[in-house]
Chains A and B, each alone.
Chain A
Amino acid sequence: MKIITTCGMGFGTSLMLLMELQSIGAKHGITIDGEALDISSVHGQNCDAIFGSSEIVKSLEGIAVPVVGIKNILDKAEIEAKLLELVKSTEPGKE
């Protein structure tokens, strides 16, 4: 699946979050393709979901794909739980 991660600049926190998602994904056999972007650039991007800190994604409106806010970006368990929940809800019956 394709995931866009976002933060204020688009190369610090969001890149870390993307790498985290990819390594969690690899653990569960989910291939995550993605890109880290700044918050101003996420509109109109073609992807399956957008991840970012709860603070930053709450300013996003009118996004067609699921937007997932992470409360504590350092908490791997939270990221893992939210990723798996997303996978379950978006791909029923697959895998």
Chain B
Amino acid sequence: MLEFITSFLSTPAFIIGLIALVGLLALRKSASAVVKGTLKTILGFMILQAGAGIIVQSLLTFSTMFQDAFGLHGVVAEDNAIAAAVQTVLGFETSLILVFGFLINVLLARVTPLKYIFLTGHMMFSMAATIAITLDQMGVSGWLAIGIGSVIQGLASVVFPALAQPFVRKVTGNDNVALGFYGSSLIWLSGWIGGKLGNLPGGRTRVQRPLKTTEDIQISEKWDFLKEMSVLMSMVMVIVFAVTAAFTSPDVLTEVSGGKPVAIMVLTQALTFVVGILILLQGVRMFLGELVPAFKGFSEKIVPGAKPALDIPVFYSFAPNATTIGFLMALIGGTLATVVSGFLSVVVLPSVIGLFFMGAAAGVFGNAYGGRRGAIIAGFLLGFLFQFIVALAYPLIGLGDYGIVGLWFASPDAILVVALMRAVGLLFGV
């Protein structure tokens, strides 16, 4: 019996399912809703892990090629894939940090002036995993890790939205919602700096002219296809794989392609990576579709009138054109960072998801502070800094211990948390 319980609790999908079950029962849902919700949560979680498996496999091939071609490690910055891939080792810690972190968030919103409820589920999940990994590398595990981790997670859930709130007010013109996205600090910083630089008097006159907003520009609809993640990511990954293959020695190419034509191998491997991401996201969708509404319902009962901290795309509607400009500039900035990071310890490859969602947001924030030029500069800065920070912070955590190569953390706020935890660890000699 004990063996069964231990085995049950070390299967992360069941823990998360159990949490959903308890939550749904506590919310007094109907029997059918309880069964459906619990099963969908478990299935979603298992799909998520299957996706991570595919991503890790595809990156193994890629890393072999990349190392042979350039003599360096190459990484894609993507949090959810890492979070999913470590679940077999740190699933227990991650799930409980996610839940207790949320409860601490609700408590903090109830008793402190920081009335934010963090509701972006995939960010809660990846932050919980990031904290669990960092603690594990510092030699802290089990219930102690869950205790410390939940406090950090709870604090992050209110502190980052609070820091972003002045900038959110500037963009939205009201104070009803907050930003619940662990790229927030880099987004508002890029937006603010972009705005300052965009406002600098250009040329002879020092007279302040009204800002030219991005929203007066006509952007051709033929660029709209780039708004579909899967399309864009496929294109970028095929290019990244192809360029790497071009520099890889024939011996290694034969080895990884298993005798197939190299072009076919490049296409299938690059697209397999994208497939892995798509499966992963399907899993995220399925288990969050059950958890987030439960969290929302619970928090509304305990802290009426709290500000929901929401995912970044809800802010895109304040300047849709700026999102396109910000993202394209971020892609340029990110590509430059890829080149520059070659001189550091690791090459950070263009990481489409981060560039896409944060770049677009930097465009919106930059536009609010400094019009068109603000949006352009903010997008570029974000793309460059996002990947450059990953290159700088890379030595902080070795994911190789968990069998993960070719991936590293993406969210700037989470990386900041990792750095702070490491710094505190140094004080205690761990």
Contact = CB atoms under 8 A, between A and B. Distances in A.
Interface string B301-324: 000000010111110111010010
Contacts of A4: none
A72 interface: yes
A54 B227 CA distance: 13
Interface string B101-133: 000000000000000000111100000000000
23 contacts: A7-B313, A8-B357, A9-B122, A9-B281, A9-B285, A10-B285, A11-B121, A12-B122, A12-B310, A12-B311, A13-B313, A15-B293, A16-B119, A19-B293, A37-B285, A38-B229, A38-B285, A39-B228, A53-B313, A54-B320, A55-B317, A58-B224, A74-B314
A63 to B, nearest CB: 15
Interface in A49-70: 53-56, 58-59, 70
Contact of A39 (B119, B176, B227, B292): B227
A74 B172 contact: yes
A40 interface: yes
A72 B320 CA distance: 11
Interface centre among B227, B296, B308, B317 (most CB of A within 10 A): B317
A8 B289 contact: no
B347 interface: no
A35 interface: yes
Interface of A: 7-13, 15-16, 19, 35-40, 53-56, 58-59, 70-74
A12 B316 contact: no
A54 B313 CA distance: 12
B284 interface: yes
B225 A11 contact: no
A15 B289 contact: yes
A65 B121 CA distance: 29
B47 interface: no
Given A11-B288, A12-B313, A13-B311, 11 more contacts: A7-B313, A11-B284, A12-B120, A12-B312, A15-B288, A16-B119, A16-B310, A16-B314, A19-B293, A36-B285, A59-B227
A4 to B, nearest CB: 12
Contacts of B120: 12
Contacts of B293: 15, 19
B230 interface: yes
A2 to B, nearest CB: 14
B89 to A, nearest CB: 25
Nearest to B231: A40
Given A11-B284, A13-B311, A15-B289, A40 B228 contact: yes
Contact of A11 (B172, B285, B308): B285
A74 B177 contact: yes
A16 B317 CA distance: 15
A71 B225 contact: no
A54 B356 CA distance: 18
Contacts of B121: 11, 15
Nearest to B321: A55
A55 B228 CA distance: 12
Given A11-B284, A15-B289, A19-B296, A71 B230 contact: no
A59 B320 CA distance: 13
A16 to B, nearest CB: 6
Contacts of A15: 121, 288-289, 292-293
- 4 closest Cβ pairs, A-B complex: A12-B311, A13-B313, A11-B285, A55-B320
Contacts of A35: 289
Nearest to B323: A55
